[in-house]
Amino acid sequence: MSMSNYFVVGKSLQNSSIVNHVTGATQYIDSITFPGMLWIKAVRSPVPRGKIKKIDYSKAEKIPGVVKIITAKHVPNNYHVNLAGLGVGPPDEPVLPEDEVNYKGEAICLVVAKDEETAAKAANLVEVDIEELPPVLDMEEALKPGAPAIKKWGSNVFMFGGGMDGATPPSSPKRPYFLVKRGNVEQAFANAYEVVEGSYLIPPIEHAPLEPHICVAKPEPSGKLTIYTPTQAPYFVRDNVATILNIPASNIRVVSPHVGGAFGAKVDPEFEMQVAVAAMVVGRPVKWRWTREEEFTISTTRPAVKIELKDALSREGRILGRKAKLLHDAGAYARTSPYGVIKSTVNLSGPYNIENLRYEGYCVFTNRQPSSAMRGYGVFEVSYAVELHMERAARKLGIDSWEFRFINAYRNNQVTATGRPIDDAYLIEVMKEAAALAGVKLPPHLLQLSS
Amino acid sequence: MKNMITLILVFFGLVTALKEINESFLMPESVNKALQLKKLYRDSALVVSGGTASVQLVTKMLISPAAIISLENLPLNYVKKKGNMIEIGATTTAAEILESDGVPNCLLEAAKGIHGLALKQNATIGGNIFTPAPGGDMATALLSLDAQLIMSSSRGRRIVPLTKFYKGPLTYNIRSDELLIAIRIGKPPKHSMFMKQSIYKYGGQTLASVSVALDSVDKVKRVGVAVGGLTPHPYRASRVEKMLLGQKISEELIETTAQNVAEEASDTGLVSREYLRHLAGVLYKRILTRLTSSR
Amino acid sequence: MMIRFYLDGQLVEVDVKPTDTLLKVLVDKLGLTSVHYGCGEGSCGACMVLVDDKLRYSCLTFAASVNDKKVTTVAGLLSDHELSPLQKKFVENNAAQCGYCTPGMVLVAKALLDKNPSPSDEEIFDALAGNLCRCTGYVPIVKAVKSAARR
């Protein structure tokens, strides 16, 4: 059957919403409005780390049109972790902080008012007395003995194992890193002809969707709540809101219509929980529209990542073994980072067959805005480091880097770093195709190879 | 932008304290009416020309003016030849300048560099003169041309050379009852050129800009070298001008004078001071090399 | 203060504050879906409208200033529920993914082509430089504008 006989495969299909897009008929959350709807603005922390001494609302409350100021005490169950539904724990993030702030811009309290400007004016009048504490802003500093611990459990790392990460059984040992190991890595290094080391840094990246975060929550007299949000993960929103409100998930309906770009920025339930609490407290629909500034400084970013790779190489160009240490900057709270670290760590072999390995992935907490998923979460960062390292290793051995990749590419019937058998390897075929497209003439002995 | 906002905050902090907020939107149809309003409100009103820099001061709650005076309906968008001079009305947009005849090359290039059709159709030359870096591209070009500003008030007219207009960050030689009505450029020089470096090729803020106006490349008798982006408002590189006067412009002269283009530079938060100084030197050299290559 | 203006051909009257932006009035007061908030400072173009045939960032336009004027959003380009030729070119070239930037892109393209029916690539890039897109990608957008231009 040739490609032309398929309805979809090999065809460029029209975006099903495009006629609405070009006529401006597509409804994003911003045009959703209800009679009596109120607006939220947050009072945000001016410092990356500090103790909240006193919050003085008296001036803000006097502004006509201010309906309510929402604080931690209004939240039935304040602490949550985004991936609780996947078994990740413990809950480490407050909906609204009780006594301390952990990143610059963290929402301290919410002003609910008749319109956006009134809420903003009143938020500017809330006086917060914060005792600034020395912040931890660098991952390596955070890991040093004696570094100020920003987590209540007394360290700056997420504990993997023991069933806390959603990936390991409860009986597995707890460690300050996620561990992937296979074979005998020390033996591989003892047998090495060459050893190549490299350290790779990936900066945080802001998704910058054109539509900033926006959410409307509408409570009903029955006790049910509808949340309109451009989320990428409606079930995460539903479950987390149910947890923090202490109500059954069946009482919550999450509507996620058109999303004006997200790229991972809208996968974390973050402000939806704050909007839900506000709506339940005031008993009226409420809306929160983040500004572009908030989108940049408060919403998640791709994590900053540092990857150290060390390879044991044979004379013929085979990777005998690899040691890797990955530091992933989660920012102040776990969000989806434990999952991201697991994804990164299991991918540290890249698409290459490495039989002896030891990979440690650290989920490090710092006083920075929380990081989370972004396109190719965990894999993009690692691919960048691994492919640069492949070039470096090939150079050190004096082998052409195409050849080096062909030698080490996964073949069928090999196993991945985590021991999963491979029966669909296509790297060699893809590399041949890519070389042809790039005008690179590969030698005949490589062109003869297959997966 | 961040620097600009901070500066504006400091500047307008005083203004807001002066008057109780009595919000009104005023859109005078004649210059006389506008001057009466300016006399009444003085510095407590926000004057909006194209709005591309000023409206967000209100929407971001950086200022709370007692009134907003929009110049949109004033008959001040024109480019006229007056004898040897060119007069440009204060609300003339970049797009209108690009469609006009007789505008010196450097000003055309500055107008063309304002990114996007929408900004070009709204950014006005008068507003541009007040806009600090990273705005103010047309101001840089005008400064190299020895432009003069026509200030008007109900008391009469006053001519202020642009070289005497900037007194400090967001501090201008304008009185509280005056409006900038028009800009005059004397006999346009034989050569003039504007170049800038922005963050991306299409769009993005200006990092640094240089504008040069010259009567001759063989024996310089009149020269203006203006630098934008390094400081909140553009300045004239007077040391360079002195070194060029009376000289024939040669490769060596370009090289030695280029060292003196960046007299001052402030960290913009976008790039470092050192990089800005470097950019100004490179842009200056490119302009003079281009101007002399046509010799 | 009460203002009245023609919005996509319909006369509307609305009570605004002197400091309200046109964007705020169109979205929050009139419930329009065809203009979008993206940055509030004229950097992204998602809020673009035409005021008397001149492009405006509605986030940088005081609503009071459009009194007695004609405001056109992308929805106003339809005639008898029929897409304009330019909108059809955007559809044919799949020049919209999430669609959030699309109204602004279409309006700038319209303003450009109305003045200059056969722009060069350079002129198209320059005209669109004040509008950001994060998911469609500029290639199909520029292709749509080019295919709508007179060759």
CATH 3.30.390.50 domain locations along chain B: 191-293
ipTM: 0.97
DSSP letter string, A224-273: -EEEE---S-HHHHHHHHHHHHTS-GGGEEEE----S--TTTTSS--HHH
Report the domain count for chain C: 2
Question: Which among C22, C53, C76 is the end of a domain?
Answer: C76
The per-residue pLDDT for B18 is 38
DSSP letter string, A386-433: HHHHHHHHHHHHT--HHHHHHHHB--TT-B-TT--B-S---HHHHHHH
Q: Are residues C116 and C134 in the same domain?
A: yes
B156 reaches C (C-beta below 8 A): no
Among A357, A402, A13, A27, which residue's Cα sits nearest to residue A186? A357
Among A276, A283, A284, A285, which residue's Cα sits nearest to residue A247? A276
CA distance C43 to chain B (A): 8
Question: Which among C58, C76, C94 is the end of a domain?
Answer: C76
Multiple choice CATH, B79-185, 3.30.465.10, 3.40.50.300, 3.40.190.10, 2.40.33.10: 3.30.465.10
Chain A, chain C: beta-carbon pairs less than 8 Å apart: 112
Q: Are residues C23 and C72 in the same domain?
A: yes
The per-residue pLDDT for B23 is 60
Q: Are residues C10 and C40 in the same domain?
A: yes
Q: Which of A32, A210, A214, A290 would best serve as a mutation to test chain C binding (most C beta carbons within 10 A)?
A: A210
Could you tell me which residues come within 8 angstroms of residue B163 by beta carbon, excluding any fewer than 6 positions away? Answer: B143, B146, B236
Rounded to 5, what percent of chain A is helix, strand, coil? 30, 25, 45
What are the tens digits of pLDDT across the range C98-150?
A: 999 999 999 999 999 999 999 999 999 999 999 999 998 999 999 999 999 98
Specify the fold of A178-205+301-409.
Aldehyde Oxidoreductase; domain 4 (3.30.365)
Contact list, B51 vs chain C (CB under 8 Å) = 60-62
| Residue indicated by tokens 């085979």 | A318
CATH 3.30.465.10 domain locations along chain B: 79-185
Which tokens sit at A179? 């561990």
- Listed by number, the residues of chain C in 27-56 with a beta carbon closer than 8 Å to a beta carbon of chain A are 27-28, 31-41, 43-44, 46
Q: Are residues C104 and C121 in the same domain?
A: yes
DSSP annotation of A209: -
Q: Is the pLDDT reported for residue B248 higher than 80? A: yes
C1 reaches A (C-beta below 8 A): no
B147 reaches C (C-beta below 8 A): no
Contact list, C85 vs chain A (CB under 8 Å) = none
Residue among C60, C64, C125 minimizing CB distance to B25: C64
For residue A283, how many other CB atoms are within 10 A of its CB? 12
Residue ranges of the domains in chain A?
29-134+208-297, 178-205+301-409
Query: pLDDT 10s digit of each residue in chain A, 451 long?
Result: 455 678 888 888 899 999 999 999 999 999 999 999 999 999 999 999 999 999 999 999 999 999 999 999 999 999 999 999 899 999 999 999 999 999 999 999 999 999 999 999 999 999 999 999 999 999 999 999 999 999 999 999 999 999 999 999 999 999 999 999 999 999 999 999 999 999 999 999 999 999 999 999 999 999 999 999 999 999 999 999 999 999 999 999 999 999 999 999 999 998 999 999 999 999 999 999 999 999 999 999 999 999 999 999 999 999 999 999 999 999 999 999 999 999 999 999 999 999 999 999 999 999 999 999 999 999 999 999 999 999 999 999 999 999 999 999 999 999 999 999 999 999 999 999 999 999 999 999 999 999 9
CA atoms within 13 A on the CB side of C148: 28
Q: Are residues C107 and C58 in the same domain?
A: no
The per-residue pLDDT for A2 is 59
Q: Is the pLDDT reported for residue B2 higher than 50? A: no
Beta-bridged to residue A324, according to DSSP, are A309, A359
Q: Are residues C7 and C66 in the same domain?
A: yes
Q: CA-CA distance, A299 to A229, in Å (whole number)?
A: 14
Q: Are residues C89 and C59 in the same domain?
A: no
Residue among C43, C44, C99 minimizing CB distance to A258: C99
Q: Which chains touch B (3 or more CB pairs under 8 A)?
A: A, C
Q: CA-CA distance, B143 to B147, in Å (whole number)?
A: 6
Q: Is the pLDDT reported for residue B16 higher than 60? A: no
What are the tens digits of pLDDT across the range A262-283?
A: 999 999 998 999 999 999 999 9
Cβ of A24 within 8 Å of Cβ of C96? The answer is: no
Q: Which of C27, C28, C80 would best serve as a mutation to test chain A binding (most A beta carbons within 10 A)?
A: C28
Q: What is the domain class of B191-293 according to CATH?
A: alpha beta
Q: Are residues C89 and C24 in the same domain?
A: no
DSSP annotation of C132: -
What are the tens digits of pLDDT across the range A221-260?
A: 999 999 999 999 999 999 999 999 999 999 999 999 999 9
Cβ of A260 within 8 Å of Cβ of C102? The answer is: no
The per-residue pLDDT for A236 is 95
Multiple choice CATH, A29-134+208-297, 1.10.1740.110, 3.40.960.10, 3.40.50.620, 3.90.1170.50: 3.90.1170.50
Residue C106: CATH number of its domain: 1.10.150.120
Structural domain for C114, as ranges: 85-148
DSSP annotation of A23: H
Q: Are residues C53 and C105 in the same domain?
A: no
The per-residue pLDDT for B201 is 83
DSSP annotation of B44: G
- Which secondary-structure segment (H or E) carries C15? strand C10-15
For residue B77, how many other CB atoms are within 10 A of its CB? 18
The per-residue pLDDT for A3 is 58
Helix (H, G, I), strand (E, B) or coil at A38: strand
CA atoms within 13 A on the CB side of A398: 2
The per-residue pLDDT for B11 is 42
The per-residue pLDDT for A26 is 97
B191-198: strand order across its sheet: B191-198, B206-214, B223-228, B235-236
Q: CA-CA distance, B229 to B261, in Å (whole number)?
A: 13
B61 reaches A (C-beta below 8 A): yes
A120 reaches B (C-beta below 8 A): yes
Q: Is C135 buried (19+), middle (13-18) or exposed (0-12) by CB count in 10 A? A: middle
Helix (H, G, I), strand (E, B) or coil at C11: strand
Q: Is A303 buried (19+), middle (13-18) or exposed (0-12) by CB count in 10 A? A: buried
- Rounded to the nearest integer, the mean pLDDT of chain C is 96
Among B148, B138, B125, B158, which residue's Cα sits nearest to residue B234? B138
Q: CA-CA distance, A266 to A358, in Å (whole number)?
A: 33
B121 reaches C (C-beta below 8 A): yes
The per-residue pLDDT for C44 is 96
The per-residue pLDDT for A4 is 67
The answer, yes or no, to whether the previous bond of A90 is cis (omega within 30 of 0) is yes
C101 reaches B (C-beta below 8 A): no
